[in-house]
Amino acid sequence: MTGKPRVVVLGSYAPSLILFRGPLIAELVRRGYDVIAMAPRIEADTDAAVRALGATPQEIALDNASMSPTATMGTIRALEAAFRRLQPQAVIAYTIKPVTLGTLAAARAKVPNIVALITGLGFAFTDGGGLKRRLSRVVATLLYKRALKKASSVIFQNPDDRAFFRAAGILKRDDAAVVNGSGIDLARFEPAPLPGAPVFLMIARLLGDKGVREYAAAAAMVKATHPEARFQLVGYLDPSPDGITQAEVDGWAGAVEFLGRMDDVRPAIAAARIYVLPSYREGTPRSSLEAMAMGRPIVTTDVPGCRETVADGINGLLVPVREAEPLAKAMERFIAEPDLADRMGRESRRIAEEKFDVHRVNEAILELAGL
């Protein structure tokens, strides 16, 4: 023990500790906390980055895909044992498994302050059929109901998700708050000059629910009449039930340039003129915030989370979800009206500064969390 009050930041994907929560961890360290950054499969680069922030990385077994009751109880017990050993003053958990299982484990370990950050509803609560999704929804609903009762504070990234949880009977409390996403580091994501060529970019995990298929279909439509347009995709294959296969990505080669996974997306954003995210639902999409901070107009869907990033006609365009043709028409508008991107890109940066500055967002989170 260091003698400092200890805080555990618990995530389900190790690189997100830096990519999404790095500034929050740094602020907790600055405030005098002994911070443990916990996630499964922490590789050397993430380990080093966490330590550079002044925090301590710690691996924990956490299977994001499994719905096995045995695996679930095993995870809760492992987390409970870790929390009893670490004796943190607070646990800050984000994404579904850390929020549900981590909150239940922290309550069993008698952690005095448990903060649940609802960063999106994910696969289980996105509209769509299939036995896997229906089963996921049942399990997630039960776990969320139990966990959110035990959390000291519950914080959402958009008002639609909070309203959904209340309407579904998952959230019974009246004190759940909303903050502006996870924020964006405006100094790291600085404005970059817009290239003249019509280059469109999407950054996402390769999941159907992210709208990747609609992006590919719309790209093919636009290229049929505007062969000079380019459509780039940054991301990586995901093993979830909604994952897109490499073979499907290969089939898009005539329309979409797949750039693979990038640890630093800034060069890709700088090389693009317009950012596109046709997702089915988000908390608040980090990639859109990154593009906004760098002065890019946004084309995204009029759905929870995504609509938080765009004032339609001001810094971007909102399109219907799950439809490729309106998406193609929105992208074609930026080709037909070249000045549109310059004007909307400037507005994106302004909105990022006013609404999504990571320091203001973290200040709000830590105030709500009592830290």
Do 208 and 140 share a structural domain? no
Check: CB of residue 166 under 8 Å from CB of residue 121: no
Of the candidates 81, 125, 88, 101, which has an alpha carbon nearest to the alpha carbon of residue 12? 101
Tell me, yes or no, whether 193 lies in a domain: no
Write down the pLDDT at residue 154: 98
Q: Quick one: pLDDT at residue 69?
A: 78
pLDDT (0 to 100) of residue 151: 98
pLDDT score at 45:
96
Q: Residues 136, 151: one domain? A: yes
What does pLDDT average to over the chain? 94
In this structure, the answer to whether residues 233 and 261 fall within a common structural domain is yes
Instruction: Tell whether 88 is covered by a domain.
Output: yes
- Among candidate residues 318, 280, 281, 279, the one with its CA nearest the CA of residue 297: 318
Helix (H, G, I), strand (E, B) or coil at 192: coil
DSSP 243: B
**SS3 labels along 179-198:** CCCCCECCCCCCCCCCCCCC
Query: Does 191 fall in a domain?
Result: no
Plot region of 197 (φ>0 → left; ψ -120 to 50 → alpha; else → beta) = beta
- Say if residue 293 is in the same domain as residue 349: yes
Structure tokens at 290: 């990154």
pLDDT at residue 286 in the model: 95
The enclosing domain of 325 has a CATH number of 3.40.50.2000
Indicate whether 169 and 260 sit together in one domain: no
Phi-psi bin for 33: left (phi > 0), alpha (psi -120 to 50), beta? beta
Pairwise CA distance, residues 151 & 137, whole Å:
20
SS3 356: coil
| Cα gap 201→158, rounded to integer Å | 24
Nearest CA-CA partner of 341 in 286, 304, 294: 294
Does some domain include residue 188? no
210 in a structural domain: yes
Side chain identity, residue 311: A
How many of the other CB atoms lie within 10 Å of CB of 84? 14
**CA atoms of 364 and 270, how far apart (whole Å):** 30
Q: What is the pLDDT of residue 134?
A: 81
Same domain, 114 and 206: no
Q: So what's the pLDDT on residue 2? A: 66
Q: If DSSP codes are grouped into helix, strand and coil, which group holds residue 262?
A: coil
Burial class of residue 209 (count of CB atoms within 10 Å of its CB; 0-12, 13-18, 19+): buried
Q: Please count the other Cβ atoms lying within 10 Å of the Cβ belonging to residue 305.
A: 26
**C-beta of residue 298 within 8 angstroms of C-beta of residue 282:** no
In this structure, the answer to whether residues 179 and 219 fall within a common structural domain is no
Q: Are residues 171 and 215 in the same domain?
A: no
Q: What secondary structure letter does DSSP report for 244? A: P
Q: In sequence order, what are the beta bridge partners of 234? A: 203, 260
Q: What are the tens digits of pLDDT across the range 242-283?
A: 889 999 999 999 999 999 999 899 999 999 999 999 999 999
Rounded Cα distance between 74 and 80, Å, is 10
Please check whether residues 175 and 67 belong to one and the same domain. Answer: yes
DSSP 91-121: EEEESHHIIIIIHHHHHHTT-SEEEEEE---
CA distance 82 to 85: 5
| Same domain, yes or no: 27 and 164 | yes
Beta pairing partners, 299? 276, 317
> Does one domain contain both 151 and 46?
yes
What's the confidence (pLDDT) of residue 239? 80
In terms of residue numbers, what domain contains 16?
6-183+357-369
* Token pair recorded at residue 34: 């002994």
- Same domain membership, residue 203 and residue 145: no
Which residues make beta-bridge pairs with 8? Answer: 36, 91
Question: How many domains does one find in the chain?
Answer: 2
* pLDDT of the chain, 371 residues: tens digit per residue: 568 999 999 999 999 999 999 999 999 999 999 999 999 999 999 999 999 999 999 999 886 656 677 888 999 999 999 999 999 999 999 999 999 999 999 999 999 999 999 998 877 777 666 777 788 888 889 999 999 999 999 999 999 999 999 999 999 999 999 999 999 999 999 999 999 999 999 999 999 999 999 999 999 999 999 999 999 999 998 887 788 999 999 999 999 999 999 989 999 999 999 999 999 999 999 999 999 999 999 999 999 999 999 999 999 999 999 999 999 999 999 999 999 999 999 999 999 999 999 999 999 999 999 99
Q: Within a domain: residue 151?
A: yes
Residue at 124 is within a domain: yes
Three-state SS for 323-340 is CHHHHHHHHHHHHHCCHH
For residues 115 and 289, give the distance between their C-alpha atoms in angstroms, rounded to a whole number. 23
Neighbouring CB atoms inside 10 A of 72's CB total 18
List, in order, residues 6 or more apart from 280 with CB less than 8 Å away: 126, 127, 128, 209, 210, 211, 301, 303, 321, 322
Whether the CB-CB separation of 280 and 321 falls below 8 Å is answered with yes
Note whether residue 194 is domain-resident: no
pLDDT of residue 199: 98
